[in-house]
A and B are shown apart, each in its own frame.
Chain A
Amino acid sequence: MTKKFPIKGFDEGVLISVYDGDWDQIQKDLLAQIDTQLSFFSKSKVAIEVGEKELGAAQLSKLRDKLLDRDIKLFAVLSTSKKTETNASTLGLSTRSSIMQKKDSPFSAAIMNGEPALYIPKTLRSGKVVEYDGHIIIYGDVNPGAKVIAMGSVFVWGKLRGTVYAGMAQNPESIVCALICDPISLRIDNIPLKNNKLLRKLRKKPARVHIENNELVLDYWD
């Protein structure tokens, strides 16, 4: 007897909650259930709630592919496991934090300790998108074609050559720091960094970008 997973609709799409157990079996049962209701699911966006299950990037990616085969877009993975949420984030999937708090999130202007931060200890290659409702810390590079979107600040302990949007919760106190700051596109609270590409290419020093008088200012660390 295959269990049926509970399905809930909400405005972002469909939320499917899966029970704990062997992931391969869960995936099998899930796909079987979807296959019996293909017309309902067709072209829909799906979020999967996995509880405390620890899932690797490869497992999530495989599930995403299998759903895509059925014309279903997996857009989020909700989990109480930090590991699972991190792996989902690095695949560009939304997580609990980014769904639950939307644009008018009550993000405090006062910066206090203990704010949520996502730690990514690897290089983000082209095509990777990471979105997080909090600060994002990357120990690695952000390559051209990769995108980082944070409600708070972004710290890149590596070369920032991709795209970073920080302070997206209308937070003008947010900053962006990088060991080498050579982004394709950088915004804090939607204010863009003026492009001075040639100069930035030649200056290989750690830098900090912050808002001053409604403009973005880049300071080099001395």
Chain B
Amino acid sequence: MAARIITITSGKGGVGKTTATANISVALAQLGQRVVCIDSDIGLRNLDVVLGLENRIVYDLVDVIEERCRIRQAMIKDKGFDDLYLIPAAQTRDKNAVSPSDMIALVDQITGEFDWILVDSPAGIERGFKNAIAPANEVIVITNPDVSAVRDADRIIGIIESEQKGPARLIINRLNPEMVNRGEMLDAEDVLDLLAIKLLGIVPEDETVIMSTNVGKPVVTREKSIAGQAFKNIARRLMGDEVPLIDLEYKEGIFHKLSKIFASGGE
């Protein structure tokens, strides 16, 4: 049976694509799935660092595409799991080294051997992004609850629709319930009101994420991480389980409340 091929993208940089790709991959592996994740950010690779695999890189994505090695030689096995692999990006080339057809051909080679192929997209809307979505049959868009990230997410969702890879699903990352309560941050409803795509999950702001990245141990491997729990839930939802959203104990945002008061009244 062919793999589910999912590209994780955002438009805006720094919103959490790599963290999400790493954690969802590990969470799926924890559920016994056969997973390979691919870092397509040629020139600015990061997925290897987040997974703690950077000192085991011998071959990378560009080596496979330029036929200096077989695809299996570039796949780094995560020792913690039976079937979790990473194909790292090249650090010394740039996005022009790879074309959308290259990505499709590469993924085609391994689609029969895995349940999930997750592609970490670079930021932007140009070549790197186009390479990353080429092989996908599903797309996840990640955004932060701030106006500028949401603007970029909207653009990328539009492009995904035009390229007929839609509809995408949304992860709202780094939601801070206290800031929402103080009216300093958009709440999930504000974001969904604009982006109007299905919500896959909400990952709250969690200090342990930065630490995890620095030591190369994704948060889903930690016991008491709320972000880890959120990513695990997302993995389960991808597998078809209807997991309820974590109760983040935040009240409706202030903008929402005010607008309801004024909207129902008269002039």
Q: Using a CB–CB distance below 8 Å, which chain A residues touch chain B? A: 57-58, 61, 65, 91, 123-128, 141, 143-145, 161, 201-205, 220
Contacts and interface: CB of A to CB of B under 8 A. Distances in A.
22 contacts: A58-B162, A58-B163, A65-B130, A123-B196, A125-B154, A125-B158, A126-B154, A126-B155, A126-B158, A127-B154, A127-B159, A141-B196, A143-B154, A145-B151, A145-B154, A201-B255, A201-B259, A202-B258, A202-B259, A203-B263, A204-B259, A204-B263
Which applies to chain A's interface (DSSP): helix, strand, loop or mixed? Answer: loop
**7 closest A-B pairs by CB:** A125-B158, A202-B262, A126-B154, A126-B155, A127-B155, A204-B263, A58-B164
- Which of B154, B196, B255, B259 counts the most A-chain CB atoms under 10 A from its CB? B154
A203 B262 contact: yes
Given A61-B163, A123-B196, A145 B155 contact: yes
Contacts of A144: 151, 154, 194
Given A125-B158, A202-B258, A203-B262, 18 more contacts: A57-B162, A61-B163, A125-B154, A125-B155, A125-B161, A126-B152, A126-B154, A126-B155, A127-B154, A127-B159, A128-B158, A141-B196, A143-B154, A143-B194, A145-B151, A145-B154, A203-B263, A220-B267
What's the dominant secondary structure at chain B's contact region?
Answer: helix
Nearest to B255: A201
Interface in B143-171: 151-152, 154-155, 157-159, 161-164
Nearest to A145: B151
Interface range on chain B (Cβ under 8 Å from partner):
20 to 34
A219 to B, nearest CB: 11
A65 B162 CA distance: 12
Nearest to A123: B196
Interface in B235-267: 255, 258-259, 262-263, 267
Contacts of B152: 126
A61 to B, nearest CB: 5
A126 B164 CA distance: 17
B159 to A, nearest CB: 7
A128 B157 CA distance: 11
B162 A126 contact: no
Nearest to B153: A126
Contacts of A123: 196
B189 to A, nearest CB: 14
Contacts of A126: 151-152, 154-155, 158
A36 B152 CA distance: 38
B7 to A, nearest CB: 17
B263 A202 contact: yes
